[in-house]
Amino acid sequence: MKKLWLVYVVLIGFFIVYVLNYRLQTNSKDPWEKTGLRGNLEDTYVMVTFQTGIDYWKSILKGFEDGAEELNVSVEYHGSTKHNASEQMTVLEQVISKKPAGIAISAVNSELLTATINKAVESGIPVVLFDSGAPDSKAYSYLGTDNYNAGVEAARKMAELTGATGQVAIVTTPDQHNHQERTDGFCDTIQKEFPYMKVVAVEDGRGDLVFSRQAAEQILSSYPEVKGIFATESNGGIGVAEAVDAHSGVSLKIISFDTDKRTLDLVKSGTISATMAQGTWNMGYWSLMQLFRLHRDLAVDPLAYSNSKLVPVPDVVDTGIDVVTRNNVDNYYAK
């Protein structure tokens, strides 16, 4: 009797072990389902900027980190502390030497950084550019704002705010290419789409609050009828807002650029009517997605794309532009 008991227990034990082991195997390798897109935490994707401390990069880094968290990979953030090409080149060299799984870089100077970017690509590291590109480099993609289109959108918003009639002006930084594109998009659109509007002045604010304030005062005294000013960057927008605040009785629509806290506060208070928000989160998130895709091929063969250009990522990604007004400003404060 007792011997039979023993046999039963041993058999039941084997059965339980068998069932559990089977569940363990099917769980880790279900033949009917894919495991999804998932990397290794040891794979590090690096985001490289310049003036690393400024607020502007935060939302881009958030997108980069969100992508990395979804894909179970790691992120590092590096860059030059100043607006300095040789410092950024040194940082990039250091990053390359660690053989990361991918690099997303905003080039402080498109020409000076090209050689170092190419070195990374030639050593088999996936590289994409965001926000500030290097069109002649071998990087696989560029993700950023279509600045001409941002000017187009700003002009249409200005027309909506001013009833599509009257004089408007621009405060910009003419020697920066992206700012010139915003100005061109604005001017072309006013001319093409709004026959009762006219751009009467394009002034240089030098990307500086004080100079922009002076430029706006100049506009207000030369053109007292002016109904709106478009500032192509945020210091300019704040300078224009101060100039308008100082002129009592002036009711003028201001459209600014970007979403730093001071600008958003002025949108909330109504001094600035609208600001153009760049798709910064998109720049970071989709940079990471592209690098992850490239890494899979290049980890196997660093020369995977050298024979032809059949590259599995787009050439250019326009990350979009949003118009921020009092109605939706709360969505744009950093979280």
Q: Which residues bind a second copy (CB under 8 A)?
A: 2-3, 5-6, 9-10, 12-13, 16-17, 20-21, 23-24, 27-28, 32-39, 41, 69-72, 143, 146, 279, 281-282, 285-286, 289, 307-324, 328, 331-332
Minimum distance from CB of 227 to a second copy (Å)? 25
Q: How many CB atoms lie within 10 A of CB 90?
A: 13
Of residues 57 and 142, the one with the C-beta less far from a second copy:
142
Euclidean distance between CA atoms 56 and 260, whole angstroms: 7
Choose among 273, 231, 322: nearest CA to 331.
322
- What element of type H or E holds 234? helix 234-246
- Residues ≥6 apart with Cβ < 8 Å to 142: 128, 129, 130, 133, 135, 315, 316, 317
Minimum distance from CB of 87 to a second copy (Å)? 30
Minimum distance from CB of 290 to a second copy (Å)? 9
Minimum distance from CB of 68 to a second copy (Å)? 9
Query: Could you tell me the two tokens for 309?
Result: 């250009």
Minimum distance from CB of 322 to a second copy (Å)? 4
Of residues 35 and 97, the one with the C-beta less far from a second copy:
35
Of residues 141 and 183, the one with the C-beta less far from a second copy:
141
User: From residue 329, how far is each of 152, 237, 240, 259, 332 by CA, in Å?
Assistant: 21, 16, 19, 9, 6
Of residues 221 and 335, the one with the C-beta less far from a second copy:
335
Of residues 3 and 248, the one with the C-beta less far from a second copy:
3
Provide Rg for the chain, Cα atoms.
27
